[in-house]
Structure 1
Amino acid sequence: MTFDTTTPVTVGDLTFDVRFAGPDDGAPVFLLHGFPETSLSWTQVAAQLAEAGLRVVAPDQRGYSPGARPEGVAAYTTDLLVADVIGLADALGIGSFDVVGHDWGSVVAWLVAAAHPERVRSLTAVSVPHLRAYNDALRNDPDQREKGAYMQVFRQEGTAEELLLADSARRLVAIYGDAVPTALAVRYVAHLAEPGALTAALSWYRAMTAELASAPRTVVPTTFVWGAHDQAIGRVPAEACGDFVDADYRFVELSDIGHWVPEQAPDALAEAVLDRIRA
């Protein structure tokens, strides 16, 4: 089985498509993708983690897996996204694990670590900092308000889908810029163009509540990886991230990288993940 192949894993009424890599007896590490991507975003990172002896678990998350695509915005609240990760771990017989998340996957990873510190050995968050650092900047930093304005568009039901998929999904493709290889971007877009898929993915944005602004402090060892040219996350929240971590903390800044770190800088990211896990 290769990382290009998915395996169905059932959690309650939902069935997730999950990619695996590495030895079955390796220390498990969950890789949580962002929007608008799939678990394929981790392909190059997963190969390096597997080579290091880790057991990689990379699910297509709620809304992205056809068998885990319930209808309605209420089915995409963050408490359910967190429960999915724990449910997958339980279904796979995994007790404790390391977790890595990028973009929205980073949001979920922060919340999993906060809600279940007894299960999470370490956290590597990529691109999106602690939610309190982000929300403080959204209120007080003009640069971050400008960078985050796109979310208001994504929260508009119907309008966002039409905008992103029009003209052969031209605007959706444009989100990746030059950072994501064309062949991979094509696969992402094809996946999100499936019936109901883009609406499900955008429901993550539409289900957001003000509670995220008061997310708990993090008590597990944490690394935050940020590209200095990130189009969505500015320097102010990135540098404030560590203020909300009550454990060993490392900030890894990638000077020439933008938002799409797993695809654009897989070697540097894999190194940061391994350094965190081995610490």
Structure 2
Amino acid sequence: MDWSHEEAIVNGVRLHYVEAGEGPLVVLLHGFPEHWYSWREQIPALVEAGYRVVAPDMRGYNRSEKPPGVSAYRIGNLVEDVRALIAHCGADRAHLVGHDWGGVVAWEVAARHPDSVDRLVVLNAPHPSAYRRELWNPESDQAKRSWYVLFFQLPWLPELLVRAGRGRLLESLFRGGAANPEAFDDEAIRRYTEACLRPGAMTAMLNYYRALFRGTLRSKVPGRSLPDATTSDGLIGRPTLLVWGTDDEALSERLTEGLEKWVPDVEVERVAGASHWVQLDAPERVNDALVGFLSRG
């Protein structure tokens, strides 16, 4: 099928996005260290089901603008990017689908601006309150699994390791973690490597983690309030589907439990044997769940 490559200035940042189809708007938000291409299996299925699909490269990624500085990647800025993109598409609201970091942003859009979201679908990205719960739970191994978040706080070293290997580290990350050997073929690895090695891209991508970590720490300082720098604890008031590959090496399956406290209208679809890259490990299963859930809206 054909899709068009577009660009727009939204929230003061130039974003590249792929668009296809006609109908109700669905916005697909990718994770780290990916870009719009991670939705290549979902875009045709959604278009065939009668949706207009928009899949952006989030700020800092691939062909989108890479504003300098850690503060440019605070969660509040990322939320406003999505809202501005929805408005640019001529809509008041959209179905929102996010994986990994895209899922983090999707949770926040739905919590802070429920009127901007019809239905919410999140793939292998924990609700922020569930993540904090497991991070500090002595019976959970989530803190151990999250070691890379601390590593990403280091200046220049993570970027240096990626550049020095000319993408071999990225290939290992994708192919080593995927359950489906066909999920990342040579073309996919080429695309991801090319995107990550664009000037300024790795620093921008890592700044997502740096901004979130620093904002959370600063918000704990007595007398300081930085709600824009940290994730919210707000309820999710929209119908929500959480799709979870059970063999995610970075995120514990315990994160899918007890969500009703924060997400009263939630369904959980566990995909046994799928990795963190669940939409590529089991595309037909994910597509069926995604289209089936959105069609109820």
TM-score tier (shorter): over 0.9
CA–CA distance in structure 2, aligned partners of residues 193 and 92 of structure 1: 29
- Could you tell me which amino acid in structure 1 is paired with residue 5 of structure 2? T
Task: Please give the alpha-carbon distance, in whole angstroms, between the structure 1 residues aligned to 2:284 and 2:77.
Answer: 32
Point out where structure 1 has 5 or more consecutive residues left out of the alignment: none
Counterpart secondary structure, 1:189: helix
Instruction: State the Cα RMSD in Å.
Output: 1.6
**Structure 1 position 221, deviation (Å):** 0.4
In structure 1, what is the equivalent of residue 47 of structure 2?
50
Quote the residue 1:170 is aligned against. 168
**1:79 positional shift:** 0.2
Amino acid at match of 2:101: W
Secondary structure of 2:53's match? strand
Output the amino acid matched with 1:100.
Answer: V
Larger deviation, residues 94-103 vs 142-151: 142-151
Give the match's secondary structure for 2:67. Answer: coil
Same amino acid, percent of matched pairs: 36
- Preserved CA contact (<8 Å) 2:106 2:120: yes
Matches of 1:142 and 1:191, distance apart in 2: 35
Q: Any residues of structure 2 matched to 1:226-241 within 5 Å, and which? A: 226-241=244-259
The match for 2:128 is 131
Match status 1:33 vs 2:37: no
Bigger mean CA deviation after superposition, 94-103 or 134-143:
134-143
- Out of 240, 253, 272, the residue aligned to residue 270 of structure 2 is 253
1:68-98 per-residue CA deviation (whole Å, 9 max, x = no partner) reads: 2100001000000000001111112111210
Greater displacement, 168-177 / 184-193: 168-177
Aligned to 2:7, the other structure's residue is in SS state strand
Residue number among 85, 88, 92 corresponding to 2:85 in the alignment: 88
**Unpaired stretches in structure 2, ≥5 consecutive residues:** 217-226
Give the distance between the partners of 1:195 and 1:172, measured in 2 at CA.
16
Equivalent-residue separation in structure 2 for 1:217 and 1:177 (angstroms): 36
| Rounded Cα–Cα distance in structure 2 between residues aligned with 1:164 and 1:139 | 30
1:65 CA displacement: 4.8
Pick from 187, 192, 195 the counterpart of residue 188 of structure 1: 192
Report the number of matched residues.
Answer: 275
SS in 2 for 1:258: coil
2:19 maps to: 20
Q: What code does the residue aligned with 1:27 have?
A: P
Corresponding residue of 1:265: 282
Distance in 2 separating the partners of 1:59 and 1:214? 23
CA pair 213-96 structure 1, distance change in 2 beyond 3 A? closer
Give the 3 Å change call, closer, same or farther, for CA 51–197 of structure 1 in structure 2.
same
For the residue of structure 1 that corresponds to 2:105, the secondary structure is: helix
What is the CA–CA distance in structure 2 between the aligned matches of 1:6 and 1:41, rounded to whole Å? 15
Contact 1:98 1:277 (8 Å CA) reproduced: yes
Q: Which residue does the alignment assign to 2:292?
A: 275
Question: 2:221: which partner in 1?
Answer: none
Residues 226, 259 of structure 1: CA spacing in aligned structure 2 closer, same or farther, 3 A cutoff? same
> In the TM superposition, what is the alpha-carbon distance from 1:177 to its structure 2 partner?
2.3
